[in-house]
A and B are shown apart, each in its own frame.
Chain A
């Protein structure tokens, strides 16, 4: 039995974040340096270093949390290690210069749970984050891991498991929010020829720009997903399962592979699970990174080894999925919720959240926000609480403009709706969607037409091309949006965009196409005046669409402050600036290619953009 670290008593546990974000910030090097320094001081029998999954406060990585005490250290560098080991781990004096200082405050906050970023979070899917080494099954077991599985296998009938999930009100965390219990019921009830075989699939094909919820869960707590899947298999009567995960998530694939091996070794996966006679095994299918493969019928095609293209539904996978057999597909986060519901009961879970949306949701908070990271919040929390209390507001004193939820399928919610409670219905009502949990915050310097163009370019690029509305429709919409951002928009463009969007929504084959127009529709709904300014006045209010900008140099500022420093002229690739050192400079408009370099290089802010 692998004993070592989980058996030996240490007085200090140094929990170092080993999620992808911190790892790319050299957290493994820091771990090695810590261990070397600990040995140097002869502390190797007193202090241990434990790699954990993503802490969530990615903005501040690499992160080290010291237990007991819950002391939060941030942005640790190799050079900090000797001082930290001697002062804190040997002499017991926490090092305040490595602690988090909230913006606009001077005093560091030593304890993790006192930091505003963590205060309002409620952890269910991420319950083990920062507390266990994801590569040690025993640590998962110690936190009640596989206890729910034991309960499901011995004390619950399959129908009872399904009714528990139904009563809990769990809905799919991957996007559409379909009730999980109902889906399981449909798969359980579906008849299957050929020995009644059924399949379980975990959808880890996370492709939204800026989203990394599923990756973090797989990296931080792979057993939570495995346990959820085994319980699901028992409920619907499946004997085989697949985790579809992107090959561009190497750490998630490695940790999941290791977890599957350990689970088989410990008898919680494979044949005769926990001695109950129940058989179920899981295989990993690595995806090549096509966005459309997150769509369930395309994902099924990809697992079967065919081209990752969707097909019309019905039949739904619940009736005819993998190799024509009834198949239950749920997202990574959904599966991670299952063991807790079975363990603690439906009533407990249903007590969190809103009337229609129960439990919590994990969001990746990115964009123009101070505290970039991964957060898990109860359903019903307002956007304001996420953006200001947890996210710490907008950097640089800029004004909040909008938040984009739901990735390329979602929409932009304007600042007027910042008190909107987060649940499936209110997001849909605002024209957006829950999606898998991407949350991109935008400030006043963001051009909403450009944002719509960006998301459309993404969906157009990722369209598989099978159906015409998506293949040609997204192209037509993208062309119009590009034209508008270049100042070539015409009066009829907005009507045409509306028509196209509606047409694609109604006729595209799969979710990718049906939702692709959402970013355009919501920006048209809330920021129509920005489109009109682009088309009518040929101006971009946020100065993002460079083709619409006119660059001029204020001669007074150039001469008085900058003494005609000549830097702009020397940096202008198209030789569109006249003047010489010591004299006021000017932009020759008919040669200007609007690259904006002059504005970037001018230290005296003499370049005006209008």
Chain B
């Protein structure tokens, strides 16, 4: 580790900053919730989450909150996820896989356009996170 200069100190701060933002309840532009009930896991929700984690990390996105919640009650259409952009109504997606999830990440989460083909409807059950 070479010694830091004043500039490098600021750069180090910016580089690590996002990790801490997650701990401090920082600002997030979107919350993506993968339903991780037993039904969801059995239908492949873990693969959906892994794909999203990977997609978010590869793009270096620090303002997307990835969370999980239990069964949403529509077990036959799992895996499901709910996308909530700040200030907009949540949208539920059904019958997902890794590729569909990444498409939603690209178009809806980042692009702001709902992917109607996979969407169940607008609205969400209440979650605590």
Contacts and interface: CB of A to CB of B under 8 A. Distances in A.
A482 to B, nearest CB: 52
A565 to B, nearest CB: 52
B3 A267 contact: yes
A491 interface: no
A90 interface: yes
A153 B1 CA distance: 22
A266 B12 CA distance: 11
Interface in A1-32: 1-2, 6-11, 13, 15
B38 to A, nearest CB: 8
Contact of B1 (A1, A67, A68): A1
Nearest to B28: A68
A67 B19 CA distance: 11
Given A91-B36, A142-B17, A267-B4, A68 B70 contact: no
Contacts of A146: 9
A468 interface: no
Given A92-B69, A142-B20, A275-B6, A266 B1 contact: yes
Contacts of B46: 42
B68 interface: yes
Interface stretch (B49-57, B88-96, B97-105, B106-114): B49-57
Contacts of A142: 12-13, 16-17, 19-20
A9 B53 contact: yes
A69 B68 CA distance: 12
Interface residues of A, number: 45
A13 B38 CA distance: 23
Contacts of B129: 68-69, 92
Interface stretch (A131-139, A365-373, A577-585): A131-139
B129 to A, nearest CB: 5
A274 interface: yes
B36 A90 contact: yes
A370 to B, nearest CB: 26
Contacts of A267: 2-5
B86 interface: no
A105 interface: no
A40 to B, nearest CB: 13
B74 interface: no
B4 A91 contact: no
A150 B19 contact: no
B16 A11 contact: no
A194 interface: no
Interface residues of B, number: 41
Contact of A274 (B9, B20, B66): B9
B126 interface: no
Interface centre among A131, A265, A266, A268 (most CB of B within 10 A): A266
Interface in A118-154: 131-132, 138-139, 141-147, 150, 153-154
Contacts of B128: 69, 94, 110
Contacts of B37: 91
B33 to A, nearest CB: 7
Given A91-B37, A110-B128, A267-B4, A141 B16 contact: yes
Interface in B1-48: 1-6, 9-10, 12-13, 15-20, 22-25, 33, 36-38, 41, 46
B12 A138 contact: yes
A13 B22 contact: yes
B57 A9 contact: yes
A272 interface: yes
B70 A92 contact: yes
Contacts of B13: 141-142, 144-145, 147
B25 A46 contact: no
A266 B6 CA distance: 11
A267 to B, nearest CB: 3
A272 B3 contact: yes
Nearest to A268: B4
A70 interface: yes
A92 B36 contact: yes
Interface centre among B13, B46, B53 (most CB of A within 10 A): B13
Interface centre among A13, A68, A147, A153 (most CB of B within 10 A): A68
A471 B119 CA distance: 82
Contacts of A94: 128
Contacts of A7: 15-16, 19
A339 B16 CA distance: 20
A239 B57 CA distance: 44
A533 interface: no
Given A110-B128, A141-B12, A70 B3 contact: no
Contacts of B70: 91-93
Contacts of A42: 46
A45 interface: yes
Contacts of B85: none
A93 B40 CA distance: 14
Given A139-B16, A147-B9, A274-B9, A91 B68 contact: yes
A69 B23 CA distance: 8
B79 to A, nearest CB: 13
B102 to A, nearest CB: 16
Contacts of A67: 22-25
Contacts of A275: 3-6
A94 to B, nearest CB: 6
A107 to B, nearest CB: 13
Give 6 closest A-B pairs by Cβ, nearest first. Answer: A267-B3, A92-B68, A142-B16, A92-B69, A275-B5, A11-B66
5 contacts: A11-B53, A11-B66, A46-B53, A91-B41, A147-B13
